[in-house]
Structure 1
Amino acid sequence: MGLHENSRMDALLNQLTRANALFLIPILGLGGSCQNGYHVTGLSSPSPFIQRFINSSWYHRYEEPPPPHTVTLIWSVIVSTYAVGGLFGALSIKCVTGLVGIKKGIICNSLVSIVAAAIMFSSKGAESIEMVVIARGLFGFSAGMGMGLHLMYLGEISPQKIRGKVTLTLATFTSFGKLLGRFFGLSEILGREELWNILLIVPTCFSVLQLLGLPFFPEAPRYLLIEKGDQEACKKALQSLWGRGDYKQEIDEMLAEQAAINVVRPKSTLEVLRDRNVRWRLITVVTISSCLLLSGMPAISIFSFDIFLEAGIPAEYIRYITLGLGGAEILAFMFCGFIIEHTGRRVLLWVGLGAMSATLVLITVTLTLKDYVSWFPYTTVGLINLFIIFQCGGPAGTISTLSHEIFIQSDRPAALVISGIIRWLLFCLLSMIFPFLVSALGSYCFVLFACMAMLGSLYTFFLLPETKGKSLLEISEAFKDLTVCRKSFKPDKSVQTKL
């Protein structure tokens, strides 16, 4: 009887210990990618109020109303400054992790978000457009660094068998942040002219939560073993997060990776760019994430109010429609989480991108013919929902897992910095030119997005090897076996001799 009681007690303790990871993942998500999602959509609802704020601040300063094109330009700067900040945040990842580690880096990043919130809150009373721009830049910096650190932490705390599901939570919390941005943007909540500055600082509450909660959790196990060489601390961290066990498979994988790093030291950003053996993996992540970004999803998220207004939807209904879009995103990500370990990464990527391309073509048709068919505006709403389902149920949910899986520890920080730089540059460009692109091309701008999505689908179908169920070193070998235009990506013999 005593043994039976002890066994039950051990099982209960194991369940309670395992729950640590279930607390850590939401804390990471709410303070990490959730904030990026919120800031992307949270600017859509108050956009008319902020543009009126630009008018009033300009008039208060110069005693004359600003020209319309000046308002458009300042609004574009406010939108795109977020991406500029994100670019610098992505650039800082390798430096921060090298100095203080991943966990402390996330804690420091939360402080940046809190400072940005204080500036944004004060901007309205000060009637300062510059303070809005500075706050948006700091929010972007926090998001750029936070997304990279969030992904690294998720990948490093997750056992191999569930790595896809755990890293997918980054995309799920991004989607949840978008939903929160739309929800708080409702006129019944904070979507009123007198509250727009408060609306934009809501996610800082999650930074405070992360700042208070994260110190009670362990450092990333992979970081402890590979960077610090402390195998016992690594094992204790895994047991603290996932329950009792020897975690031999995970530790053996880390030791093999550490052995590879002992032969090839951790690389700088420039060394990764020059390394022929990493180049194909880097090109793959950059190409797929760029095609995904340029397929129009950020533009639809930021300018959803203007897109639906252009489609002919009454303004009083638009905020509720965009709230439905956020719900569709979360459901699609949850579906992706259920199937990613069964279907694999490659299929979800090429099928999802191809379906997105076809949907964007249909959106172009319905927007073009909206004046001739009375029900086409509502068809546009349905197609945009379908586009989001295809995007979040496949490529958007898979790219974070793929980005972590295809780089070993010595290459990962620098590779994430490089891919992050390119993504944030493209996001900045898209945010800046989209209002002018719509003015010049109208609904035909979605044809350009469709072409980019199709390019990503073709690239994935023909060139991406499957990574499901493979160790990081096995994935590296799969990329070395690729041959493109009769050119192999195997290591040079000269390099092998040196090593």
Structure 2
Amino acid sequence: MSSTESPMTATLLTSILVAVFGSLQIGYHTGNVNAPARIIEEFFNHTWHSRHNQSMPDHSLTFLWSLSVSIKDFGALLGSLGVKGMADSFGRRDSILIVNALSVVGTCLMFSSKACGSFEMLIVGRLVFGLFCGLVMSLNPLYIQEVSPTNLRGAFATLNQVFFATGILLGMIVGIETVLGTEELWAIMLSLSLIPALLQYLALPFCPESPRYLLINRDQESKAAKALRRLRGSKNKVYTELEEMKEEAAHTQSALTVREFFTKRSYRQPIMIVLIVNLGSQLSGFNAIINYSTKMFDKSNFDEAKYLTLGVGAVNVTFTLVAFLLMEKAGRRRLLLTGFMCLAVCNLSMTIIDSVLFLVPELRSLQVLGVFFLISAYEVGPGPISWFIAAELFDQPARPIAMAFTSMLNWGGKFLLALLFPPLLKLCGAYVYLLFMTMALIAFSYTWRRLPETKGRTFDDIAAEFRSSEGIPLHNKTDFNTFT
């Protein structure tokens, strides 16, 4: 393992900040449909009435709105299937630029839906935007991890989640009625993600491609060295890192199929880790609260529920920044374990509070605190780490497939939760949070037993651990750096 620390250069920081503009767009369209939900539902109803001369049935309106919210996540699930092909064919940086076009097209469709009197355009626009989400939320961590030095890799990967959370908060703010969430301006609100999309087109072409991709995937050592010099600013660092890449290349096969990925023995344990961590993260209750917090607070008779929703967004951003600051100090493993255990406790508390809320209305303040604590528990560990841990656990040939797998799990979980949470809430009531608690406890248990610490370790060092071991439990180790 290399203990050499690399400095942060202007080129490195610019490359990462420009890349995460994509995450900002995704967060924005996650948060901006919450507060103006009633106004957009009225647009659906008005459009239906103008066509059929009657109001849309309540059950149809509920279904159509649930579909509108969840279709983005379904599109992202489909988009995940293209991650490997894009990343390996066009490179990490250029793939981000190419898929950015999906964001532009999807946003334009959403913006045009009001003028065209077509709620179908809004739904299709969110579907197209969803394709962008599924691709870029894998391509971003992949690019960031491969251009970052080992000592800053986790912190920089967390910036992807920081910008995602910031986008959610911005979406929530512009979505309230006092800003752009009005009957006249909601279409303009949906169009604002075009700004970071265009900025990314202007700046990202001047950022270097992933040196790891150039050397290991393309065998272009001179271009890899040139990219590294721009990113590191030191010839000594470039030589050391190139040697590490060559050592990793010597231990990996040149190409890998999806079938080989899922059948290769040394990949079985990291695949299970990625599966459990991601499902535990996405089915922990966070996405239900992000999508339906305004309605949840309305149900508890808060006069200004939309402003409490802004509090959710602010807590979300605050604790992604906490995760950013702690990632290279506490490590991935400790933050995941802390986050999952706190999520389990928060969901149990939410069950108890919601069960007695109708008897003791004064407990609604505790409900708000429970929501805030759940958001903070998610963002301090499971939220950001679930998106990039696969990039650290797999070697270069397997990394794009692993990130596609991560994206499918994340967006698949979001889609199912967005679609099923309203009927589950009606069916189970407050006890729906016990399902989330169970998932968090399963993820905690598996992480405790199987996940090694990846902080400060080279990709080859982590991959070698899985090559030389078949997943011996970790409970007999104090440092949790190896399986043996």
Q: TM-score range by the shorter chain?
A: over 0.9
- Give the equivalent residue in structure 2 for 1:10: none
- Give the equivalent residue in structure 2 for 1:495: none
Deviations 1:134-171 (A, max 9, x none): 10001111111111111111011101111111111111
- Give the equivalent residue in structure 1 for 2:231: 241
Distance 1:274 1:46 in 2: 47
Distance 1:478 1:220 in 2: 24
1:240-389 aligned within 5 A: 240-247=230-237, 248-261=239-252, 264-314=253-303, 317-389=304-376
Structure 1 position 426, deviation (Å):
2.2
Distance 1:321 1:237 in 2: 46
Instruction: Kindly indicate whether the alpha-carbon contact (under 8 Å) linking 1:36 and 1:174 is maintained by their aligned counterparts in 2.
Output: yes
Distance 2:17 2:422 in 1: 35
Identity %: 31
- Give the equivalent residue in structure 1 for 2:448: 461
What are structure 1's unaligned runs of at least 5 residues? 1-13, 486-499
What are structure 2's unaligned runs of at least 5 residues? 1-5, 474-484
Structure 1 counterpart of 2:190, one-letter code: L
Structure 2 counterpart of 1:286, one-letter code: L
Structure 1 position 334, deviation (Å):
1.7
Structure 1 position 445, deviation (Å):
1.1
Structure 2 counterpart of 1:481, one-letter code: S
Between 356-365 and 196-205, the greater mean CA deviation after superposition: 196-205
Structure 1 position 46, deviation (Å):
1.5
Deviations 1:345-403 (A, max 9, x none): 11111121011110111112222222232431111111111111111112213223422
Structure 1 counterpart of 2:443, one-letter code: G
1:385-404 aligned within 5 A: 385-404=372-391
Between 131-140 and 410-419, the greater mean CA deviation after superposition: 410-419
Distance 2:42 2:11 in 1: 47
Instruction: Kindly indicate whether the alpha-carbon contact (under 8 Å) linking 1:163 and 1:401 is maintained by their aligned counterparts in 2.
Output: no
1:203 and 2:193 aligned: yes
3-state SS of paired residue (2:184): helix
Distance 1:401 1:420 in 2: 10
Distance 2:27 2:108 in 1: 20
1:52 and 2:42 aligned: yes
Distance 2:315 2:356 in 1: 26
Distance 2:190 2:111 in 1: 8
Distance 1:420 1:121 in 2: 26
Structure whose CA Rg is larger: 1
Instruction: Kindly indicate whether the alpha-carbon contact (under 8 Å) linking 1:85 and 1:139 is maintained by their aligned counterparts in 2.
Output: yes
Distance 2:128 2:298 in 1: 30
Instruction: Kindly indicate whether the alpha-carbon contact (under 8 Å) linking 2:41 and 2:65 is maintained by their aligned counterparts in 1.
Output: yes
Structure 2 counterpart of 1:80, one-letter code: S
Distance 1:122 1:477 in 2: 52
Instruction: Kindly indicate whether the alpha-carbon contact (under 8 Å) linking 1:273 and 1:279 is maintained by their aligned counterparts in 2.
Output: yes
CA RMSD, Structure 1 to Structure 2 (Å): 1.9
Scaled by the length of structure 2, the TM-score of the pair is 0.92
Distance 1:401 1:129 in 2: 35
3-state SS of paired residue (1:193): coil
3-state SS of paired residue (1:194): coil
Structure 1 counterpart of 2:271, one-letter code: L
- How many matched pairs? 467
3-state SS of paired residue (2:454): coil
User: Judging changes above 3 Å, is the alpha-carbon distance between structure 1 residues 273 and 347 closer, same or farther for their aligned structure 2 residues?
Assistant: same
Deviations 1:67-108 (A, max 9, x none): 111111111111121111101211111111233211111111
- Give the equivalent residue in structure 2 for 1:494: none
Instruction: Kindly indicate whether the alpha-carbon contact (under 8 Å) linking 2:36 and 2:177 is maintained by their aligned counterparts in 1.
Output: no
User: Judging changes above 3 Å, is the alpha-carbon distance between structure 1 residues 442 and 340 closer, same or farther for their aligned structure 2 residues?
Assistant: same
3-state SS of paired residue (2:191): coil
Instruction: Kindly indicate whether the alpha-carbon contact (under 8 Å) linking 2:138 and 2:387 is maintained by their aligned counterparts in 1.
Output: no
Scaled by the length of structure 1, the TM-score of the pair is 0.90
Structure 2 counterpart of 1:338, one-letter code: L
- Give the equivalent residue in structure 2 for 1:451: 438
Instruction: Kindly indicate whether the alpha-carbon contact (under 8 Å) linking 1:58 and 1:66 is maintained by their aligned counterparts in 2.
Output: yes
Structure 1 counterpart of 2:313, one-letter code: G
1:169 and 2:138 aligned: no
1:114-133 aligned within 5 A: 114-133=104-123
- Give the equivalent residue in structure 2 for 1:29: 20
